[in-house]
Structure 1
Amino acid sequence: KSQVREALEEYGCFEASFDPILELRKAVFGALQEVFDLPLQTKKLFVSDKPFRGYSCSPSAMFQSMAVDDAHIAENIEQCLTTSLWPQGNISFSKTLASFIQLTSELEKTILKMILESFGLEKYMDELTDIAKYQLRIMKYEKPKANEQTIGVPAHCDSNMMTLLYQNEVNGLEIQNKDGEWMNTKLSPNSFIVIIGECLCVWLNGRLSSPYHRVMMMGNEDRYSLGLFSSVRGGYMVKVPTELVDDKNPLLFKPHDHEEFLKYFSSEVAKGVVKSGPVISRLKTYCAV
């Protein structure tokens, strides 16, 4: 518990070993290779009317991703993702991703409980569990054309509650420390990188900070990764607990509906007012007192 909090206070992230994931490792990355090997016109069939969901591809095609909301409900992977890409069905693909989500969401709850207990806020665990929603994002980073370092994903902060990332053997994720230096991450096959998101930082009244991170690609292999992004349901007001506000720690953030923030932010991106990964704390600016 104390180690988790110390790591989050210092880096905003930590490596979590989780042996049960090893049984799924081969199947998971086989599934990712299978789906991203589909023809482009097939992948484009996976669409969503919500921002930052569905299939997306960077202009250079170096980075592709697919995102499914409410992924902890097994039928959603089948109905939203699998049937869009394989009208005849693909049971093993659906089952593999559903099993991954089941394991990873349990790990996320364990970590959240440790964070809350470290702040004496364990009484909020049931409430945060009830309003939680989980997005699954699967990602492929193409190997660079020439043998030189290229940006897979630019520097950004996650605006959700918590992110758990799992990758194949190709490294590339970098975290920025408090001194502005970029640190490489090298994960074991049984490890996740756990990154705290801005929504949880806001809820904790700024006690923790979400780190900037990016993906830098090098070498001659493709990088595959999966992310479980926990967030809060639309309609729920994210409000700082009274226990975290006193004379020494004034209230820093107004209550906000996170889904409304995402709509606002995506509209700003569409208008060209902001880029999708600006080096400012987007959510903190949105709901600062």
Structure 2
Amino acid sequence: MGGEAKKLPRIDFSEVDPSAPGGQAWGTARGEVMDALATFGCFEAHYPALAPRLRAELFEGAVRPLFALSADAKRRNCYGADRPFHGYLGDVPGFPGYESLAIVDGTKDESVRGFARLMWPDGGDNSDSFCGTVVEAAQRIFQLEEAVRRMVMEGLGVAKHHDALSASMWHLFRMSEYKAPNAAEKVVRYGAHQDTNWLSVVCQHEVAGLEMQSRGGEWIVVQPSPTSLVFMVGNELRVPTLAVDAS
């Protein structure tokens, strides 16, 4: 891994209103989305609505205190034995230095408050500030994710199914921490993989820890930006390539 020669396609959503489909800005962005997903399977979205102020509050004011909690506290983030990957992940074999927590339906105030009560049973400032920040950030991200999903369905000619698909979906808001290596060397904390969902949206903080593989096999280092998100196609949206041996 580790090539920096290429960059992901960058799409400007600053003039797109996620709540108002249609219009020139929407159509232009939709064309760029379809082209980027067809050629790269991912793109960088310039999205000033998720402002640097909110990002700072999310990472420094909400996420950092969360990961400072004890391992026993973080293990309370559990959605049952039948959904082991929906909650806390830590000390996972093969993933040294990786730890994460997740909130099912993290765009909903009641879901985030339920998570906060598990982490901070006694309440307090951490719990209140965490809830407000996470709900606001998750909703901003979800607004753009839904707009991109609608654009994809329009581009595929199946826009009439958007509402039914949206009603059947749920969202996982996952917060992850990757421990820095002790030396100035590159260390893979979470190995190469494909996501199984429809779309993944990644918001990086300061460190260029994400790499994407192009169709040509080249690894592209995704530089973090204070105004961008990274969108990636999951396996639910991928079209399998079929081959026939006629020999």
Bin of the TM-score, shorter chain as denominator length: 0.7 to 0.9
TM-score normalised per structure 2: 0.78
Q: 2:102 aligns with which of 39, 42, 67?
A: 67
TM-score normalised per structure 1: 0.67
1:88 aligns with 2:122: yes
Q: Determine the C-alpha separation between the residues in 2 that align with 1:186 and 1:147.
A: 18
Q: 1:185 aligns with which of 206, 211, 222?
A: 222
Q: More relative contact order in 1 or in 2 (CA 8 Å, sep 6+)?
A: 2
1:5 aligns with 2:34: yes
In structure 2, give the amino acid aligned to 1:11.
Answer: F
The aligned residue for residue 56 of structure 2 is: 26
1:61, CA displacement in angstroms?
Answer: 4.7
Q: 2:134 aligns with which of 85, 97, 108?
A: 97
Contact 1:8 1:196 in 2 (8 A): yes
The aligned residue for residue 165 of structure 2 is: 128
Structure with a larger share of its residues in strand: 1
Q: Percent identity?
A: 31
**Judging changes above 3 Å, is the alpha-carbon distance between structure 1 residues 61 and 87 closer, same or farther for their aligned structure 2 residues?**
farther
Q: Determine the C-alpha separation between the residues in 2 that align with 1:71 and 1:187.
A: 23
In structure 1, give the amino acid aligned to 2:106.
Answer: A
The aligned residue for residue 78 of structure 2 is: 47
Q: Determine the C-alpha separation between the residues in 1 that align with 2:77 and 2:152.
A: 35
The aligned residue for residue 172 of structure 1 is: 209
The aligned residue for residue 17 of structure 1 is: 46
- Mark the runs of 5 or more structure 1 residues left unpaired by the alignment: 210-248, 250-289
1:41, CA displacement in angstroms?
Answer: 2.2
Structure 1 runs of 4+ aligned residues shifted over 4 Å read: none
In structure 1, give the amino acid aligned to 2:59.
Answer: F
- Judge which range, 155-164 or 121-130, deviates more: 121-130
The aligned residue for residue 213 of structure 1 is: none
Measured against aligned partners, the alpha-carbon deviations of 1:64-90 in whole angstroms (never above 9, x if no partner) come to 0001212222111111x2111100221
1:113, CA displacement in angstroms?
Answer: 1.2
1:128, CA displacement in angstroms?
Answer: 1.2
Contact 1:15 1:187 in 2 (8 A): no
Q: Secondary structure at the match of 1:19?
A: coil
In structure 1, give the amino acid aligned to 2:98.
Answer: F
**Judging changes above 3 Å, is the alpha-carbon distance between structure 1 residues 34 and 99 closer, same or farther for their aligned structure 2 residues?**
same
Q: Determine the C-alpha separation between the residues in 2 that align with 1:104 and 1:98.
A: 10
Q: Secondary structure at the match of 1:7?
A: helix
Alignment of 1:157-168 (within 5 A): 157-168=194-205
In the alignment of these two chains, the number of paired residues is: 204
- Mark the runs of 5 or more structure 2 residues left unpaired by the alignment: 1-29, 243-247
1:200, CA displacement in angstroms?
Answer: 2.1
Cα RMSD between the aligned structures? 1.7
Q: Determine the C-alpha separation between the residues in 2 that align with 1:6 and 1:159.
A: 21
Q: Determine the C-alpha separation between the residues in 2 that align with 1:169 and 1:17.
A: 16
In structure 2, give the amino acid aligned to 1:146.
Answer: A
Q: Determine the C-alpha separation between the residues in 2 that align with 1:44 and 1:134.
A: 20
